Amino acid sequence: MPKDWKRREFLAKFIKLPCAAMVFGVGAAGDGEAAEEGPYQAEDHLYAMGIQVDRCIGCGLCAEACKNENDVLKEPFFFRTWIERYSIRVDGEVDVDSPGGGIGGFPPLAEGSEVMRSFFVPKLCNQCDKPPCVQVCPVGATFKTEDGVILVDESYCIGCRYCVQACPYGARYIDPRTLTADKCTFCYHRIIKGLQPACVEVCPTQTRVFGELGRRSSPLHRMKRQSSIQVLKPAMNTEPKVLYSNLDGEVR
């Protein structure tokens, strides 16, 4: 095995790398652009995520990968991302569930209910351009970076929980280990290295599309061109950077 491994390493480094990159160049760095030279410049980027609702199969791999990548507590009360299932009955009643955030998969729909349509919707922090959570933070422990991501400074947060109250999307929680606010970071430590967020990486159906706003020739741009785009709770005027395609009106 070590011998074989050496061969692979050699091949990888000297021969196959450009070739492999050509064949498998799927969605790296969000936009399929070559990794940039020089140090990372935050102001050159503006990250966003697309969610193609009609592709989601509700497998929950994204929510699970998120917990793995970001060391989120495994108990079902702390989620940076989760999946909701909507089923709209013939009489117009709407049932929503998200058992365990969707990580363990979903049980079959209850028998006997006449369902007209049903679908899954992944949820996460909307990385708002006008974030209410940042507005209310009394000390500047949560903030919008120059590349548009909302982060929490764990060592500066006083744990007042005002941001949790201010978020219209329920995207924030208090990590009981640190007693500070926590939420999705778009996997900031990954994206600035040109990698995809963990949830996007593992999504089997390309429901999640990661990219940058204002960059043409990218999967995100393609999605925006081809589908009708909606954001969650537009009346809140938070200007989310998580864009949903073909979103049902019942989704809140």
Partner 1 sequence: MKPGEKWIGRCSRAVRSISTNLVFIQEPLFRLILVFSTNSLGMRMRIWKIPDQVIRLAILIVIALAVLIVVRLQFIPASFGEIGHYRADALKEEAALTLHYAGMQACVMCHDDIGMIKAASYHRNLACESCHGPSLEHVDDPGEFSPVVVTGRTLCVRCHGYLASRPTGFPQIIEAIHNPMAPCTECHDPHDPTPPEVPEDCSACHAEIARTKAVSHHWSLSCETCHEAAPEHRQSPRAFLPKKPTEREFCGQCHGQGSQRSASAPRVDLSEHGGRYLCWQCHYPHHPEGR
Partner 2 sequence: MSELLEHLEANLQQVTGYIYPNEIELHWSLLVVIYPYVTGLVAGAFILASLVEVFKVKEVASTYRLALLTALAFLIAAPLPLLAHLGHPERSFQIFLTPHLRSAMAMFGFVYIWYLMLVLLLEIWFEYRADMVRWSSERRGVMKLLYWVLSLGSRDLSEKAVRFDRKAVYAITLVGIPSAFLLHGYVGFIFGSIKANPWWSSVLMPIVFLFSAIVSGIALVLLLHYVTTMFRRVKPDMACFNKLASFLMYALIIDLSLETLDFIHRMYESEESIEILAELVITKLFISLTIVQLLLGTIVPIVLLAIGRFSRIPDEFKRVVFFIAALLVQVGIFSTRWNVVIGGQLFSKSLRGLTVFKMQLGGIEGLFMGIALLILPFVLLWILVKLLPPWDKQEAN
**Which residues contact partner 1 (rule: CB under 8 A)?**
1-2, 5, 8-9, 11-12, 16-17, 20-21, 23-26, 28, 42, 54-61, 65, 68-71, 85-87, 105-106, 108-109, 115, 118-120, 140-146, 151, 153-156, 185, 188-190, 192-193, 195-196, 198, 201-206
Which of 29/79 has CB closer to partner 2?
79
Piece in contact with partner 2 (CB under 8 A), picked from 30-38, 151-159, 206-214, 219-227:
151-159
Pairing of β 47-52 and β 242-245: parallel
Q: How many CB atoms lie within 10 A of CB 8?
A: 11
The rounded distance, in Å, linking the Cα atoms of 185 and 252 is: 21
3-state secondary structure of 108: coil
Using rule CB under 8 A, residue 101 touches partner 2: yes
Which of 105/170 has CB closer to partner 1?
105
| Residues 103-142 as x/- pattern, contact with partner 2 by CB under 8 A | --------------------x--------x--xxxxxxx-
The rounded distance, in Å, linking the Cα atoms of 103 and 40 is: 34
132 binds, among partner 2, partner 1, none (CB under 5 to 8 A by kind): partner 2
Piece in contact with partner 2 (CB under 8 A), picked from 53-61, 159-167, 197-205, 214-222:
159-167
Amino acid, single-letter form, for residue 189: H
Angle at 239 (CA atoms; ends 73, 42), nearest 5 degrees: 70
Q: What residues contact 123, with CB distance under 8 A and at least 6 apart?
A: 81, 82, 83, 84, 169, 170, 171, 232
